[in-house]
């Protein structure tokens, strides 16, 4: 079908392509990996947009309409057969007076294109799923985050109880409740914030079975939201274990090396072994109390002997997830082999399940045993922090360095939780949130480098700041946030943890401060070796392209809360933590807090 008018020389559509002949102009447009249009200002030629379904045509209509009004840049690329290669000049909008002609042409083209598909029965279920599912999933992930932002606006920071509690009867004999306080809401927001970033990045970087990968991301998000909002220890355990399955498949199927199967099994077996111990403890608790509802467990009481017996089983399960020495071996392997989105969620959210479990269940339910075993926890946490810092100095894999950095930061967080004071608990809370954002940003940077150069080994990098200044600047902000530079959320968290450690144990404070020094050393060395010096001859010059627009959006979304929270501690603590810190203190003292 051909259509002619004063604006376009000709428009034609068939079952595979959309051809638009524009005098001396190609229109450049990128929607998803499924539709790519190369449009540059050249001589006579054809603009070909590869389309695989009706939904892309509708998106093309909307985007081109805005482009005609506001103008858009053109880029370099190969012209279709019969055309020429562009020179990267900037094209301007065609003007508002041409919009009506353009829309008429494009609507006629869309009609002919869709008619061609329908008449020849080319619209299949697989085509529609491949087009509709990524868009619907991204809208769903963003909708969840928007809903939680509305919940934050309606959150009452002065209420010393869980809010929006809902109970569901799974059977006539068991009812589970879900709700959140300030701590849980913060982790719900963190999860819902990181998922769209990983989703958008996966649309570009995941090359095979993309829809399955995106589906696993959405399933993992749902499980994490249920974990953080659960008010029943048994339901928490079920979803705590269920988060293993999506991450196991993400690492095993989309890992970057031949060792991905080993890394997936490391993750699965370590976490499962620790969780079986917690299941044994939960069985004994259920036999004694008759329920594992969080409200009932708080008002109930376990004898000192029973607490001392149950505490190690539950602690090991959470220590594996943190991870703490000697249960840490699975984390570097999992991080190295996981795709970028898997590493981001593993460091940003899944590691927080261990510290969240300690804060929510271990410390409040077993206060006597917690204080009794606190020296052991301090020794393990300090040993983990020092060991991971020293090992990170000798690593040559970028992801492995960041993985050991995560171990050091999470164990500093454990020190704050076991200070038994408000400063340490608040600092641990801020470190958990800050590390979730900072480590995610670092893994996004490493993923961008790997997509360009197909290697993560440090000896092959150097001098990237000369050719990639924007990426170097973004990485610098993430690095100084990782070393807790003043003005970032990590600085506030570590400062409060050190205040809590001074009042609790001065020797522990000194040792923790030394471990932070070594963390700073390997972080600065990592940045220096990658972005400064001379450009290595092993790097492909054509791969030295700076940050893309999508990457810039993701980096900006991560940097804004890091800096904003670092400069607005009063707002952060009052909005998300003021009701929870009182809750935490009273639980450790006399449990006289009204729960509902």
Whole-angstrom distance, CA of residue 12 vs CA of residue 70: 25
Residue 212: inside a domain, yes or no? Answer: yes
pLDDT number for residue 437: 92
Domain count of the fold of the chain: 2
User: What's the average model confidence in pLDDT over 429-447?
Assistant: 91
User: What's the average model confidence in pLDDT over 74-102?
Assistant: 38
Tens-digit pLDDT profile for residues 455-487: 888 888 888 888 888 999 999 999 999 988 888
Among candidate residues 71, 97, 119, the one where a domain is terminated: 119
4 to each of 14, 68, 106, 232, how far by Cα in Å? Answer: 16, 19, 11, 67
pLDDT number for residue 443: 93
Rounded to 5 degrees, what are φ and ψ at 397? -95, 130
Lowest-confidence region among 291-295, 298-302, 326-330, 575-579: 575-579
Q: For residue 101, is pLDDT > 60?
A: no
Decide: 431 and 409 in contact? Cβ < 8 Å. yes
Residue 596: inside a domain, yes or no? Answer: no
174 has which bridge partners?
171
User: What's the average model confidence in pLDDT over 193-209?
Assistant: 87
Do 364 and 493 fall within a single domain?
yes
Residue 560: inside a domain, yes or no? Answer: yes
Residue 106 structural domain: 2-119
Residue 594: inside a domain, yes or no? Answer: no
Residue 139: inside a domain, yes or no? Answer: yes
Residue 595: inside a domain, yes or no? Answer: no
Do 466 and 575 fall within a single domain?
yes
Entry pTM: 0.74
Do 90 and 181 fall within a single domain?
no
Tens-digit pLDDT profile for residues 113-154: 444 444 444 445 555 556 677 778 888 888 889 888 888 888
Highest mean pLDDT among 104-118, 512-526, 542-556: 512-526
What token pair was written down for 281? 């403890």
Measured at the CA of 96, the angle between CA 77 and CA 47, to 5 degrees, comes to: 25
Do 110 and 204 fall within a single domain?
no
Do 23 and 156 fall within a single domain?
no
Higher pLDDT, 343 or 24: 343
Do 571 and 472 fall within a single domain?
yes
Do 57 and 147 fall within a single domain?
no
User: What's the average model confidence in pLDDT over 167-189?
Assistant: 84
Residue 128: inside a domain, yes or no? Answer: no
Q: For residue 535, is pLDDT > 50?
A: yes
Decide: 508 and 382 in contact? Cβ < 8 Å. yes
Q: For residue 579, is pLDDT > 60?
A: no
Average pLDDT, the chain: 75
Do 219 and 349 fall within a single domain?
yes
Whole-angstrom distance, CA of residue 472 vs CA of residue 529: 12
Do 106 and 142 fall within a single domain?
no
pLDDT number for residue 191: 93
What percent of the chain is predicted at pLDDT more than 90? Answer: 19
Residue 127: inside a domain, yes or no? Answer: no
Lowest-confidence region among 24-28, 136-140, 559-563: 24-28
Q: For residue 442, is pLDDT > 80?
A: yes
Do 546 and 457 fall within a single domain?
yes
pLDDT number for residue 540: 62
Higher pLDDT, 555 or 68: 555
Whole-angstrom distance, CA of residue 68 vs CA of residue 75: 16
Do 139 and 168 fall within a single domain?
yes
Tens-digit pLDDT profile for residues 315-333: 999 999 988 988 888 888 8
Q: For residue 368, is pLDDT > 50?
A: yes
Do 398 and 465 fall within a single domain?
yes
Whole-angstrom distance, CA of residue 75 vs CA of residue 552: 18
Tens-digit pLDDT profile for residues 69-80: 333 333 333 333
In sequence order, what are the residues at sequence separation of 6 or more whose Cβ sits closer than 8 angstroms to the Cβ of residue 77? 28, 38, 40, 85, 86
């Amino acid at each position: 079908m051909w259509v002619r008018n004063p604006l376009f020389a000709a428009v034609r559509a068939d079952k595979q392509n959309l051809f638009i002949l524009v005098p001396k102009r190609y229109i450049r447009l990128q929607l998803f990996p499924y539709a790519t249009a190369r449009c540059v200002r050249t001589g006579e030629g054809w603009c070909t947009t590869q389309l695989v379904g009706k939904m892309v045509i509708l998106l093309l209509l909307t985007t081109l309409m805005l482009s005609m009004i506001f103008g858009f840049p053109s880029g370099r690329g190969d012209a279709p057969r019969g055309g020429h290669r562009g020179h990267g000049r900037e094209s301007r909008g065609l003007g508002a007076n041409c919009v009506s002609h353009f829309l008429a042409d494009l609507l006629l083209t869309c009609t002919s294109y869709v008619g061609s598909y329908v008449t020849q029965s080319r619209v299949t279920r697989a085509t529609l799923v491949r087009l509709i599912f990524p868009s619907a999933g991204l809208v769903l992930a963003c909708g969840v985050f928007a809903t939680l932002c509305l919940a934050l606006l309606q959150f009452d920071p002065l209420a010393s109880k869980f809010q929006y509690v809902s109970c569901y009867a799974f059977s006539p004999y068991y009812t589970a409740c879900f709700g959140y306080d300030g701590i849980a809401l913060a982790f719900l927001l963190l999860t819902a914030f990181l998922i769209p970033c990983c989703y958008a990045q996966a649309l570009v970087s995941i090359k095979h079975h993309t829809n399955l990968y995106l589906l696993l991301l959405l399933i993992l998000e749902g499980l994490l939201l249920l974990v953080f909002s659960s008010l029943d220890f048994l339901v928490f355990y079920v979803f705590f274990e269920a988060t293993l399955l999506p991450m196991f498949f993400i690492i095993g199927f989309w890992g970057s090396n031949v060792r991905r199967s080993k890394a997936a099994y490391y993750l699965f077996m370590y976490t499962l072994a620790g969780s079986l111990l917690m299941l044994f403890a939960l069985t004994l608790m259920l036999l004694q109390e008759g329920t594992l509802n969080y409200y009932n467990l708080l008002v109930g009481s376990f004898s000192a002997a029973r607490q001392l017996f149950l505490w190690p089983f539950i602690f090991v399960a959470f220590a594996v997830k943190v991870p703490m020495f000697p249960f840490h071996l699975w984390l570097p392997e999992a991080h190295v082999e996981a795709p970028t989105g898997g590493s981001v969620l593993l460091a940003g959210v899944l590691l927080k399940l261990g510290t969240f479990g300690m804060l929510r269940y271990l410390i409040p339910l077993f206060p006597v045993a917690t204080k009794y075993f606190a020296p052991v926890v301090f020794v393990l946490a300090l040993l983990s922090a020092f060991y991971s810092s020293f090992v990170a100095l000798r690593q040559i894999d970028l992801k492995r360095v960041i993985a050991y950095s995560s171990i050091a930061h999470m164990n500093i967080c454990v020190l704050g939780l076991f200070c038994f004071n408000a400063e340490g608990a608040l600092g641990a809370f801020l470190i958990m949130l800050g590390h979730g954002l900072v480590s995610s940003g670092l893994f996004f940077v490493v993923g961008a480098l790997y997509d360009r150069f197909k290697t993560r080994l440090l000896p092959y990098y150097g001098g990237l700041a000369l050719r990639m200044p924007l990426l170097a600047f973004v990485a610098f902000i993430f690095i100084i946030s990782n070393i807790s530079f003043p003005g970032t959320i990590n600085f506030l968290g570590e400062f409060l943890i050190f205040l809590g450690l001074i009042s609790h144990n001065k020797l522990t404070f000194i040792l923790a401060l030394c471990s932070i020094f070594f963390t700073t050393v390997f972080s600065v060395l990592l940045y220096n070796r990658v972005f400064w010096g001379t450009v290595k001859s092993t790097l492909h010059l054509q791969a030295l392209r700076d940050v893309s627009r999508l990457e810039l959006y993701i980096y900006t979304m991560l940097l804004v809360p890091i800096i904003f929270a670092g400069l607005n501690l009063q707002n952060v603590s009052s909005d998300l933590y003021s009701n929870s810190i009182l809750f935490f203190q009273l639980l450790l003292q006399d449990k006289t807090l009204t729960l509902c």
